[in-house]
Amino acid sequence: MKNKFTKAILTIAMGSALLISCKPKNSGDAVSGDAAQKAYVAPGKYDEFYNFVSGGFSGQLSVYGLPSGRLFRVIPVFSVDPEKGYGYNEETKPMLNTSHGFVPWDDLHHTEMSQTNGEVDGRWVFGNANNTPRIARIDLKTFTTKEIIEIPNSAGNHSSPFITENTEYVVAGTRFSVPADNSDGDVPINTYKKNFKGHLSFVKVGKEGQMDIAFQIQCPGVNFDLSHAGKGKSHGWFFFSCYNTEQANTLLEVNASQRDKDFIMAVNWKKAEEYIKAGKGKLTPTKYAHNVYNESTHTATSEIKTQVLILDSKELKDICYMIPCPKSPHGCDVDPTGEYIVGSGKLAALIPVFSFDKLQNAIKNKQFEGEYDGIPVVKYEAALHGEVQKPGLGPLHTEFDGKGNAYTTFFVSSEVVKWDIKSLKVLDRVPTYYSVGHLCIPGGDSKKPFGKYLIAYNKITKDRYLPTGPELAQSAQIFDISGDKMQLILDFPTIGEPHYAQAAPADLIRNNGQLKFYKLEDNKHPFVTKGEKDTKVVRNGKRVDVYMTCIRSHFAPDNIEGIKMGDEVYFHITNLEQDWDVPHGFAIKGASTAELLIMPGETSTLKWNPDRVGMFPFYCTDFCSALHQEMQGYIRVSPTGSNVPISFSVGTNLPAPTQK
């Protein structure tokens, strides 16, 4: 006889199969009326919002305009990028350093914009590396990655990078609990309950954005899925969804879904700060990388740090509290007032909404139903505001419009549902195409959502776009939510596999001191060349440094001889342009790395090891002027031991040609 769990899985599976195989009856008229006009941005006009979308398994971050859905930029973060030379040039290689060495790929799931007083401020976007745990900070003055910090004692950095309302902390919870870094990890996997621990990391963010791990909280060995910070009245608290409270280590699809309820963990980080001041934290050995890109030297550095401060939730019982939540919760979202915390049990047919005031009262009056591995468990009803009844199948994520409404995605029933936060009544629902995961409302997790648009990020496209082989285009859909009813106005493909995304008004970012070019006089790169007269080629043993410049439409020097087999050649190229939107590229035949893409006033370095004797052309890869094709040069490579001297020139045939 099948148990309730098996029946639930069969029901969900059958529903998914029907949804995937059958197009919804109303899909033909899903976009109608003035939809096209609402999404249209005329040539030469700007979009209202920037939309920062995670690239998932691409490891990158993409930037789209709303409502047009136009792709503006792909920002390299956790993966090498041959288009921009990120991770290939000598300046950015340190950005991808970890305690495991150079890691050229990762899985960027979530984005989070910096906030001031709980409102999006347009300074930075944070991104998480899910595979080799890291957090990155992307500077919106340049739309480039400026800092990456590795997260120790962690595996699967999924529950991040969520921030507090003044960006005091960016916070991460481990998806996979593992033995702590300083303990013996060579233990049987089935000793999970004894040896595996979960850690929550609180990364301090300075005024200029600089990150540092302030402390970690050691917790029971569960899986932390997603999180959000409190705001307003709940500022000082953080909330995490937890699953696998069974602490299973195999076949989690069955063994981690046995209990009727898992938990939302409530963390009092203000109390944690008090304990740290009182000396309750323990410095624990570990290894993690901290990588910073210097805007002045145009060069990144990497530092390996060796300890972290840890608080034990089992010993300090008033830091963490467990709130029962329908099993396998995914999303954990906090409304703009900070009063309501929404949990989303993936296998539930309802949405629980918890009250922060009731939670505080329950803690005060010790309305507990016992402990979970030393952590007090608050009674479900004691913290519950209420339940949204029969909203849909497979609730995942919730965002808010600032008008008292919540919007939740339903993966199994392929829809977005709008409901009233206080009354918990369903107000509207629209189909998505298909199997929606995350959603984004500009400012939708802040104290002041901008509303107007909702973007759904779907996992399956099927019949939405022209087929492209076994793998289809990733999908996003834009809804107008300015009225009582949601209206689909556009769908568009995205890179990656999109997970979470955030958006903010274009003016907030565009007019916030965006950099147009790097001033040459401020360039402090150790190999900068600030004018053609200073170009040179210098040999030091087998190392050859080429101090090169580029400007429309030539390189200097553009003829180089005296390079020999076995040499290690470094091209340090400075773009002399001092105008907006005039980058130059550099590529050389046979290079085993990538090209360089050099912004105006910037210096970038390509390392090259010639693999044969001969003539090697190099050229500009970024179309820069009418004479872009003429922007090229030659390097002569001679045999090891050759007596051909180093020589270089531009505009003259030097040295004099010799007969061979």
To the nearest whole number, what is the mean pLDDT of the chain? 93
Dihedral pair phi/psi, residue 361, rounded to 5° = -65, -40
Q: Are 429 and 406 in contact (CB under 8 A)?
A: no
**Spatial CB neighbours of 589, under 8 Å, sequence gap ≥ 6:** 616, 617, 618
- Grade residue 10 by pLDDT with cuts at 50, 70 and 90: very low
Kind of pairing between the strands at 543-551 and 568-575: parallel
Alpha-carbon distance 458 to 433, whole Å?
7
Instruction: Indicate if the pLDDT at residue 378 is higher than 70.
Output: yes
Give the pLDDT of residue 660. Answer: 55
pLDDT tens for each residue of 44-72: 999 999 999 999 999 999 999 999 999 99
The architecture (CATH level 2) of 525-649 comes to: Sandwich (2.60)
Alpha-carbon distance 241 to 174, whole Å?
11
SS3 577: coil
**Spatial CB neighbours of 21, under 8 Å, sequence gap ≥ 6:** none
Dihedral pair phi/psi, residue 506, rounded to 5° = -60, -40
Alpha-carbon distance 593 to 130, whole Å?
25
Alpha-carbon distance 123 to 137, whole Å?
10
- Cα end-to-end distance, the chain, whole Å: 89
- Grade residue 30 by pLDDT with cuts at 50, 70 and 90: low
Where in the chain are the domains? Answer: 525-649
Alpha-carbon distance 62 to 503, whole Å?
12
**Spatial CB neighbours of 34, under 8 Å, sequence gap ≥ 6:** none
Instruction: Indicate if the pLDDT at residue 25 is higher than 50.
Output: no
pLDDT tens for each residue of 452-467: 999 999 999 888 999 9
State mean pLDDT over 530-559.
98
State mean pLDDT over 169-181.
97
Q: Are 459 and 437 in contact (CB under 8 A)?
A: yes
- One-letter amino acid for residue 573 of the chain: I
- Grade residue 257 by pLDDT with cuts at 50, 70 and 90: confident
Alpha-carbon distance 304 to 306, whole Å?
7
pTM over 0.85: yes
Distances, alpha carbon 111 to alpha carbons 22, 154, 369, 396, 638, in Å = 33, 19, 36, 17, 50
CA 286 from centre of chain: 24
The first and second tokens of residue 587, run together, are 């590529």
Which segments of 335-416 does DSSP mark as H helices, in order?
Answer: 356-364, 380-383
